[in-house]
Amino acid sequence: MGKFFIEFFRGSKWPRRPGATHRTGIIWWNLIDGWPQFSDAVVDYYYAKKLAFEFIKRCQQDLLVLIREPAGAVQQVVAANDTLRPFELEYLVKDADTAELLAGGHVIAAANAVTPLAEIPFDPERQRFYVITWTGPAGAGTNHYLAGKPPFNLEQYRKWLAQT
């Protein structure tokens, strides 16, 4: 859930959409377990990083390409840039099962802003796993998005994750 909430807030930074809620970040407070237990912390009592740690680390990069939650029958692909300079990048959004290219292009991610890049169709009845990649002078990155109505098959999800 950590990745979801970080991306939800980052994708809503400085909204330019009418009626959108203003959000500029999230504060993490449950980073490490205080004793051996099962919890939502990202580091356990013995200082071992949990799987969530790597996904949270990825989605907190200065520049992140992500997919916003559905708005009707579409989802918006955006670049969240938390630096004070614009970044040039090439991005791709592909379906993990079919390798279908859903969006891609060459763009400038505005400084300290969320830059809309594309819209892709959303069908809640179709479970999909999108792999998002980008490259540019500032470096490369990868992200993913799970679309559709739960529940998801755990084995299928693990196969999808292996592609990121």
Report all structural domains of the chain as residue ranges with CATH numbers, in order of start.
Answer: 2-161 (2.60.40.10)
CB 115 within 8 A of CB 139: no
- Degrees (nearest 5) of the Cα angle 123, 129, 133? 120
Confirm if 11 and 78 have CB atoms less than 8 A apart.
yes
Share of the chain above pLDDT 70, in %: 94
Q: What is the mean pLDDT of residues 38-65?
A: 90
- 53-102 pLDDT, tens digit per residue, is 888 889 999 999 999 999 999 999 999 999 999 999 999 999 999 999 99
For residue 134, pLDDT over 80 is answered with yes
23 DSSP 8-state letter: B
Nearest in space to 12 (alpha carbons), one of 21, 4, 3: 21
Distance from C-alpha of 138 to C-alpha of 117, rounded to nearest angstrom: 18
Under 8 Å CB-to-CB from 75, ≥6 apart: which residues? 67, 68, 69, 119, 120, 121, 122, 145, 147
